[in-house]
């Protein structure tokens, strides 16, 4: 056997010895403990995604945020949303609130959730707010440190919700009348100037707000 033939004969054995075991050829997995805060890529076609997980004040707490936010934090959020809507309908609920106090949901994903709710024969009630990290037990000083968003963002999103068939939009009270040093009546006025009044409802979390004067 020639020298060249010896090399050719040896080559398959070398390849076999250096081949990567099949067990090692698999996607990396990430445990839930390592995903803090949870960041999911936005899928334009079929996914729900989060571009930011808002900072929460360091207080003793076990859970927080709206129920839809908990559903979206599941490992398969699209499946979880479907199961959640199915169960709500079985139990006789007709309105589904979609809030984002601690998860910043991209607008397209938010609208996809609205479409899912409507497709399930339920009524979608999105809740929008100007306050980051909204939660009923958060002090005004802590909310102030987290900051607020421009009210025009609520207005822009509200118009998209209305175009998507939303009957009523809830405006989160925190940052406006709840846990603030003074009421932000300017925000209320701006929203009512830009959005149809019959499509908007303002959350009233404190008794003193229940019978406040009309804007």
pLDDT in tens, 76-134: 888 999 999 999 999 999 999 998 877 778 888 899 999 999 999 999 999 998 876 55
What distance in Å separates the CA atoms of residue 75 and residue 172, rounded to the nearest whole number? 27
| Residue 23 pLDDT level (bands cut at 50, 70, 90) | very low
Strands 103-104 and 123-128: unpaired
> Which residues share a beta bridge with 95?
123
- On the question of pLDDT at 198 being above 60, the answer is yes
- On the question of pLDDT at 6 being above 70, the answer is no
The answer to whether 49 and 106 are in contact (CB under 8 A) is yes
Return the percent helix, strand and coil in the chain, to nearest 5: 45, 15, 45
Please name the residues in contact with 15: beta carbons below 8 A apart, sequence gap of 6 or more.
Answer: none
For the record, the structure tokens of 101 come out as 């106090």
Please name the residues in contact with 156: beta carbons below 8 A apart, sequence gap of 6 or more.
Answer: none
Which is more confident, 151 or 14?
151
pTM: 0.67
| Residue 29 pLDDT level (bands cut at 50, 70, 90) | very low
Q: Which domains does the chain have, with CATH numbers?
A: 36-210 (3.20.20.70)
């Amino acid at each position: 056997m020639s020298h060249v033939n010896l090399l050719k004969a040896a080559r398959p054995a070398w390849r076999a010895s250096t081949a990567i075991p099949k067990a090692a050829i698999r996607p990396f997995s990430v445990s839930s403990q390592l995903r803090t805060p949870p960041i999911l890529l936005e899928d334009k076609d079929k996914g729900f995604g989060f571009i930011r997980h808002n900072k929460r004040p360091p207080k003793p707490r076990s859970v927080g945020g709206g129920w839809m936010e908990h559903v979206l934090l599941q490992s398969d959020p699209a499946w979880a949303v479907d199961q959640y809507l199915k169960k709500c309908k079985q139990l006789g609920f007709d309105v589904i609130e979609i809030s984002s106090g601690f998860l910043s949901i991209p607008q397209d994903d938010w609208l996809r959730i609205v479409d899912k709710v409507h497709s399930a024969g339920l009524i979608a009630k999105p809740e929008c707010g100007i306050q980051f990290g909204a939660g009923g037990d958060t002090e005004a000083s802590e909310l102030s440190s987290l900051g607020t968003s421009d009210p025009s963002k609520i207005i822009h999103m509200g118009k998209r919700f209305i175009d998507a068939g939303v009957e009523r939009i809830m405006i989160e009270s925190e940052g406006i009348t709840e846990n603030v040093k003074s009421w932000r009546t300017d925000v209320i006025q701006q929203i009512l100037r830009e959005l149809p009044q019959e499509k908007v409802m303002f959350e009233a979390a404190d008794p003193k707000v229940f019978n406040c004067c009309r804007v």
